[in-house]
Amino acid sequence: MKRVVVTGMGALTPIGNSVNEFWTNIVAGKNGVGPITKFDAAKFKTRFACEVKGFNAEAHIDKKEIKKYDLFTQYAIVATDEAIRDAGLDFTTMPVEERYEVGVIWASGNGGIGTFEEQLREFHAGDGTPRFNPYFIPKMIVDIAAGVISIRNGLHGPNYCTVSACASSNTAIINAFDTIRLGKATIMVAGGSEAAITPSAVGGFSASQALSKRNESPKTASRPFDKDRDGFVIGEGAGALILEELEHAKQRGATIYAELVGGGMAADAYHLTGTPPDGLGAALGVSKALADAGITAAQIDYVNAHATSTGLGDIGELAGIKSVFKEVRVPVSATKSMTGHLLGAAGAIESIISVLAAKNGIIPATINTQNLDEHIPDGMDIVLGTSIHQPVNYVLNNTFGFGGHTASTIFKKWEE
């Protein structure tokens, strides 16, 4: 099969609105949490989140077009535009026949949930006469970001969305990886976006006991692996990767950040929202990714854990890692301690972290965690407090979602 490399990246996150700003703040251990500003959360049990700061859609998108797009699609546009520029691509000058071989697989867990809420509020505030915005459906549906990216760039290759809750964008990346490996495209835009800091999403996650309620100390709320953790901090944003067939990238003289060498997907088959204590789904996904890459657990130099700061989830994941790695000690960190949980966009954002960890030889730390949970399996090397500078050849990136979905990817440091 063909080899696949990463040639461009774009990021819009709670701690940076470009890849460079985002990575600098990840290495520095910056915290992205703050009070919710997108709606009045005074009566909610959770009143804080990791919001994108200083976003101005008009700086990136024509004013007439903005009204057609939900915020999750606006985020997708900004992140993919950066990734395309970063890859040195200009699809407007590419012959249309070549654009037949360029596709988009874009993920989101919630799609246009903000638009959905807004339209229903307007309907119920009226006299019952249905006066819905003509853009309501195309703004709301979860696949529309993939469609908009292809329309803006004239890309005629495979185009669809993946929805596997918080594993969605890792699933998109794996599908794009396979599409290129099988010779069905030369370039794929892959990633995910989420804009779910809305009343129904925050209220719904809170009702399911998933969100932290540490309103008196929100800066320390996202504390993966800590015995006092009480839930995740909801985040928003987008992450985009340009995946490209190796020989095509070399032929056009592209900058190569890393090679994507493996992807594995599985299911817990256990519970709607919970994780099995033995981490079976995690172990299966990781094992499949290792087999796909043709490497052993001993060759992994860093694991970017899904670790959202939930009681069962963090420990279940570590149990799954332990069952695969056995006596092999590998550095593990949870960067959601800085970004919060970007839901369907988490896998893409953490893929960017994984790529840059390998490229730069830096393992980001887990912040906020002060007292490790006593149920963490023995022999786990959790990176706390400060980033580590050391060689990184292979990085494993884990994601899991409600419904038992698991998706793991492996990136390899690029060397000619």
Q: What is the spatial distance between Cα 393 and Cα 359, in angstroms, rounded to a whole number? A: 8
| Structure-block tokens of residue 118 | 């807004």
Question: Among all chains, which residue has been given the structure tokens 């670790």?
Answer: 307
- Give the bridge partners for 232, in sequence order: 211
User: How many whole angstroms separate alpha carbon 285 and alpha carbon 360?
Assistant: 26
pLDDT, position 126: 84
Strand, helix or coil for residue 296: coil
CB-based contact 280:271 (threshold 8 Å): no
End-to-end CA distance of the chain: 19
Phi, psi of 327 (to 5 degrees): -90, 0
Q: Are the CB atoms for 277 and 326 separated by under 8 Å?
A: no
User: Rounded to an integer, what distance in angstroms lies between the CA atom of residue 296 and that of residue 349?
Assistant: 25
Give the DSSP letter of residue 365: P
Whether 50 sits among the annotated catalytic residues: the reply is: no
- Among residues 236, 230, 176, the alpha carbon closest in space to that of 202 is found at 236
pLDDT (tens, 9 = 90+) of the chain, 416 residues, equals 999 999 999 999 999 999 999 999 999 999 999 999 999 999 999 999 999 999 999 999 999 999 999 999 999 999 999 999 999 999 999 999 999 999 999 999 999 999 999 999 999 888 888 889 999 999 999 999 999 999 999 999 999 999 999 999 999 999 999 999 999 999 999 999 999 999 999 999 999 999 999 999 999 999 999 999 999 999 999 999 999 999 999 999 999 999 999 999 999 888 888 888 888 999 999 999 999 999 999 999 999 999 999 988 999 999 999 999 999 999 999 999 999 999 999 999 999 999 999 999 999 999 999 999 999 999 999 999 999 999 999 999 999 999 999 999 999 999 98
Residue 38 near residue 197, CB atoms below 8 Å: yes
Residue 186 parent element (H or E) = none
SS3 68: coil
Q: Whose CA is closest to 353, among 307, 309, 319, 311?
A: 307
User: Are the beta carbons of 267 and 281 closer than 8 angstroms?
Assistant: yes
**Catalytic status, residue 341:** yes
User: Residue 169 and residue 153: Cα distance in Å, rounded?
Assistant: 20
Q: Which two tokens stand for residue 415?
A: 């060397």
pTM: 0.97
The letter for the amino acid at 321 is I
* DSSP-derived pairing of the beta strands 394-401 and 4-12: unpaired
Beta strands in 254-380 (DSSP E): 258-267, 302-304, 331-333, 362-363
Catalytic residue among 161, 166, 248, 405: 166
Q: Are 219 and 179 in contact (CB under 8 A)?
A: no
Is residue 302 within 8 A of residue 363, CB to CB? The reply is yes
Where does 290-404 show beta strands of DSSP type E?
302-304, 331-333, 362-363, 381-382, 388-389, 394-401
DSSP structural state of residue 377: P
pLDDT value, residue 416 = 81
State phi, psi for 92 to the nearest 5 degrees: -70, -20
What is d(CA 196, CA 112) in angstroms, rounded to the nearest whole number?
8
Q: Are 212 and 233 in contact (CB under 8 A)?
A: yes
Taking the C-alpha atoms of residue 170 and residue 309, their distance in angstroms, rounded to an integer, is 19
Residues in the chain: 416
162 SS3 class:
strand
Rounded CA separation 344/135 (Å)? 23
Please report the domains of the chain, with CATH numbers, ordered by start residue: 4-251 (3.40.47.10), 263-413 (3.40.47.10)
Q: Quote the tokens at residue 193.
A: 């976006």
- What element of type H or E holds 143? none
Considering the candidates 341, 375, 389, 405, report the single residue annotated as catalytic: 341
Residue type, 285: G
- Known active-site residue 306: yes
